[in-house]
Structure 1
Amino acid sequence: MLLYRTDKGAVTIQDGQAYATEGEWDDLVNDDVLADRLASVVENSVPNPALLNAIHSPLPPLVSQEIWAAGVTYFRSRTARMEESEVAGGGDFYDRVYAAKRPELFLKATPHRTVGTGQAMHLRKDSKWIVPEPELTLAVSSKGKIIGYTIGNDLSCRDLEGENPLYLPQAKTFDRCASVGPALLITRDPLPKETTISLTIRREGAKVFEESTTLANLKRSPEELVEFLFRDNSHPKGCLLMTGTGIVPPDDFSLRPGDMVEIHIEGIGRLVNTME
């Protein structure tokens, strides 16, 4: 099932049918048995075809939730981080964290710094090397249970992070630095390792980059990342957790205003944003 946040309220989609879903968003995403709750909605409600229009322009699937992120969870990310920070002498840190017991975790964005599909993301003005990072994103309840999955774009300034690892907060967190959506995939089961994540970038209508990976390349399990995130760190409204990227554009590529970034994850949909 897919759960959308819309201007008409929460909407559950099952088998192409739309169902009005009662409850405030913060309450829904902190229900540890949300899959059962939505299954009951589908079983005991009449579909509302009018709500299908609402999901074409969904709101970001968060209200009070922070977005956190994990880094260097794919070998491709490890290699890219080592290359960009080699001159500054920080490359060894990324090699070590890839193999370390403790993962890299950081606060990515708050709700007011986050956009949804169809909205514009912001290219930081003091960076000259900015790339999208397509990431499976976990929806986690206040009790630390993964209740669903969505798509995330962790917009990143590679030149700032490469200059000095201590610049990570500035490289990662700024206005409209994160995009999530279009919906939450609500399921009781973990996603298959064969699940594909793909990234396409278009410039003036022409495709300038395209690549895919699968969850089989994710070094750490979602459950492991959540367990570390919740150590002595409470999330009373739940949170979203980006799980890292396995796709990195070439070193000579940087996003420009007007570029369109599309991220697709099987079973969830497409997250599409323009850059400005």
Structure 2
Amino acid sequence: MIRLPADENVITGHGSQRDCCSVVHRFRTVDGSSRPDLPIDGYLDGELVLSRSFAADPAGDRLLMRADDDTVLADGVDATRIEFRAVDRFGAPRPYVDGDVRLQVDGPVDLIGDHGCDPGRRMIIPTPNATRETPLERGTVRSNHPSGVLTTETEELITMSRLCDPADLLPTDSADATLVGRVHDPAENGPAVVAVRGDQLVDLSHLAPTTSELLDLPDRVDLVRSSEPRKSWPLSDVLAATVDEASDSGAVRLLSPIDLQVIKAAGVTFAKSMIERVIEERAKGDYTRAEAIRTQINDAIGGTIAGLRPGSPEAERVKSILISEGLWSQYLEVGIGPDPEIFTKAPVLSSVGAGASIGVLARSTWNNPEPEVVLAVTSAGGLVGATLGNDVNLRDFEGRSALLLTEAKDNNASCAIGPFIRLFDERFTVEDVRTLVVDLKVTGADDDYTLSEQSSMSEMSRPLEELVDHAIGDHHQYPDGFVLFTGTLFAPTQDRDTAGMGFTHHHGDVVSIGTDRLGMLINRVSTAEDAPDWTFGIRALIANLAGRRLLG
């Protein structure tokens, strides 16, 4: 131990030629004690550039903890490291501490590895579950040391709030994609038409105040790529705010990419899902009868329906056989008959976008997501782009009666679309849509349930153009254009709660629908009653755009 009178001795050490500095060590005693603190002042060219102190007395020592990230994604995979060390009252590190340091965690976090270890060691702290019912929770990490000397009041909060990695919303080839959509701009308290350009999201509302109008422009691709923007935002910031359920209302975030377009849907366009509709009908909404009916139908018709061309002579022969055996159904009629099912899914402006809550009626006990590709169609009937959609469905309602279709399909927040519309161009065409494989994943918040399914567009029973032709033509016009849900291959047969029931949603489920060329649509399941009310309708849109002088 060095013993020197306080402030009376200065030891100057001249650095090497490389350092070109001097360090002055000043030693003094503490309260008359023979144990000195050690202050160190560093000078560069005669100017003080560094001042550090080291305490001799252990009184005031404490444990200091820091996390690499203060936000952990709620995906069951992401993690952060905690670094903890012993420091003196000046914050200078201690070389060692006798005895184990113990870590205690509370809330939705857990530790990987031994909970007792030496200071300085890093611990991994992941989320214990992929999702939760509440959008934001905090996990607390507390340190503890058995000695009576080391103060251990420090704690670290880990916040988990994101539905997914924000970059997952984009197509894998986003650099080559022409992407358009809408955001909520808090600065103008309304929606803005936007396009992705590199790492920026640019506002094109001055060219077209609605995506309905933008898609009708003949030179839309060139305008989206080259027009001078009205304003712009960092793309990464907008994507992060979109999937962060705890972000404040002042953040710019994605909306559904459509506005004035009518929301249409085609049903029963895949053989596998068609059989499930027949089961719903025969079970009359009672899930306890589903498995027995599924077995009966499969035994009777097997795979004879798969591959049938709807409306063909072969389809008519199968129809005659099924009628004779008492197995004909209204769903088989639209599945293999000459006319497809085309219906209005939801009102104009009612769809929600990526990151928003989706709604299931609270009194529904048998329901499911429907992952679909959604076509963007102009007022003239031209196919100009594609996006993703979730046609949220209540199986128990539709199964009881086809006349309950609107109540089964159209509820608050029951239609999700997004995240962007990918315009058809030289790199992405309707031919690419025919080969898309759509992935569905549902992760439970209150159980360990995970469902993963795929829907291949190549297995559709009807061409995309045929569905569009049944929606628009001399028989029906859409002056603001429309979007068309194209149906799903997904058949919710994987049991979750009760054997034979198949799938049904739980409150808090996270539903992701994705494909490489269109990105990912992700939402958390709520009830239609608890999801945010739909308040921004056509009158509000017109008033907002007029107030911003965006209407011609």
The TM-score normalised by the length of structure 2 is: 0.47
1:65 Cα deviation after fit = 1.8
Unaligned runs of 5+ in 2: 1-177, 186-191, 243-252, 285-325, 494-500, 527-552
Partner of 2:259: 63
1:37 Cα deviation after fit = 3.0
Tell me, in whole angstroms, the C-alpha distance in 1 between the residues paired with 2:203 and 2:459: 37
Q: Quick one: structure 1 residues 191 and 52, their matched pair in 2 at CA, closer, same or farther if it must change by over 3 Å?
A: farther
Q: Is the CA contact (8 Å cut-off) linking 1:113 and 1:174 kept in structure 2?
A: no
- Does 1:95 pair with 2:332? yes
Query: What are the superposed Cα offsets for residues 183-242 of structure 1, whole Å, 9 maximum, x if unpaired?
Result: 000113214233110100000284521011221011222211111101322211111110
1:112 Cα deviation after fit = 4.6
- The structure 1 residue matched to 2:410, chosen from 146, 158, 173, is 173
1:134 Cα deviation after fit = 0.4
Partner of 2:181: 4
Partner of 1:13: 196
Partner of 1:209: 451
Q: Quick one: structure 1 residues 73 and 33, their matched pair in 2 at CA, closer, same or farther if it must change by over 3 Å?
A: farther
- Does 1:50 pair with 2:234? yes
Partner of 2:275: 79
- The structure 2 residue matched to 1:244, chosen from 466, 481, 487, is 487
Query: What are the superposed Cα offsets for residues 122-163 of structure 1, whole Å, 9 maximum, x if unpaired?
Result: 111232111000000011111111111111100001111111
Tell me, in whole angstroms, the C-alpha distance in 2 between the residues paired with 1:212 and 1:182: 19
1:34 Cα deviation after fit = 2.1
- Does 1:195 pair with 2:436? yes
Q: Is the CA contact (8 Å cut-off) linking 1:29 and 1:141 kept in structure 2?
A: yes
Tell me, in whole angstroms, the C-alpha distance in 2 between the residues paired with 1:76 and 1:58: 33
1:113 Cα deviation after fit = 3.2
Partner amino acid, structure 2, of 1:200 = K
Partner of 1:253: 503
Tell me, in whole angstroms, the C-alpha distance in 1 between the residues paired with 2:448 and 2:394: 23
Tell me, in whole angstroms, the C-alpha distance in 2 between the residues paired with 1:80 and 1:158: 10
- The structure 2 residue matched to 1:114, chosen from 351, 357, 360, is 351
Tell me, in whole angstroms, the C-alpha distance in 2 between the residues paired with 1:121 and 1:48: 28
Decide which moves more: 225-234 or 194-203. 225-234
- The structure 2 residue matched to 1:127, chosen from 356, 361, 364, is 364
Q: Quick one: structure 1 residues 18 and 143, their matched pair in 2 at CA, closer, same or farther if it must change by over 3 Å?
A: same
Higher relative contact order (CA 8 A, sep 6+): 1
User: Helix, strand or coil: the match of 1:200?
Assistant: strand
Q: Quick one: structure 1 residues 20 and 51, their matched pair in 2 at CA, closer, same or farther if it must change by over 3 Å?
A: farther
1:271 Cα deviation after fit = 0.6
Decide which moves more: 129-138 or 227-236. 227-236
Partner amino acid, structure 1, of 2:258 = L
Partner of 1:38: 224
Q: Is the CA contact (8 Å cut-off) linking 1:115 and 1:121 kept in structure 2?
A: yes
1:13 Cα deviation after fit = 2.1
Partner amino acid, structure 1, of 2:510 = M
Q: Is the CA contact (8 Å cut-off) linking 1:32 and 1:147 kept in structure 2?
A: no
- Does 1:182 pair with 2:419? yes
User: Helix, strand or coil: the match of 2:265?
Assistant: strand
1:19 Cα deviation after fit = 4.1
Partner amino acid, structure 2, of 1:7 = H
Larger radius of gyration: 2
Partner amino acid, structure 1, of 2:272 = R
1:110 Cα deviation after fit = 1.3
Tell me, in whole angstroms, the C-alpha distance in 1 between the residues paired with 2:353 and 2:459: 26
Tell me, in whole angstroms, the C-alpha distance in 1 between the residues paired with 2:219 and 2:272: 35
Partner of 1:274: 524
Q: Quick one: structure 1 residues 39 and 101, their matched pair in 2 at CA, closer, same or farther if it must change by over 3 Å?
A: farther
Partner amino acid, structure 2, of 1:102 = D
1:27 Cα deviation after fit = 1.4
Q: Is the CA contact (8 Å cut-off) linking 1:5 and 1:60 kept in structure 2?
A: yes
The TM-score normalised by the length of structure 1 is: 0.90
Partner amino acid, structure 2, of 1:12 = A
Q: Quick one: structure 1 residues 159 and 37, their matched pair in 2 at CA, closer, same or farther if it must change by over 3 Å?
A: same
1:49 Cα deviation after fit = 6.3
User: Helix, strand or coil: the match of 1:84?
Assistant: helix
Q: Quick one: structure 1 residues 201 and 87, their matched pair in 2 at CA, closer, same or farther if it must change by over 3 Å?
A: closer
Partner of 2:108: none
Decide which moves more: 121-130 or 8-17. 8-17
Q: Is the CA contact (8 Å cut-off) linking 1:90 and 1:164 kept in structure 2?
A: no
Partner of 1:23: 208
Unaligned runs of 5+ in 1: none
1:40 Cα deviation after fit = 3.9
Tell me, in whole angstroms, the C-alpha distance in 2 between the residues paired with 1:177 and 1:6: 20
Partner amino acid, structure 2, of 1:24 = P
Residues 132-151 of structure 1 aligned to structure 2 (within 5 Å): 132-151=369-388
Q: Quick one: structure 1 residues 161 and 72, their matched pair in 2 at CA, closer, same or farther if it must change by over 3 Å?
A: same
Partner amino acid, structure 2, of 1:121 = I
Q: Is the CA contact (8 Å cut-off) linking 1:3 and 1:13 kept in structure 2?
A: yes
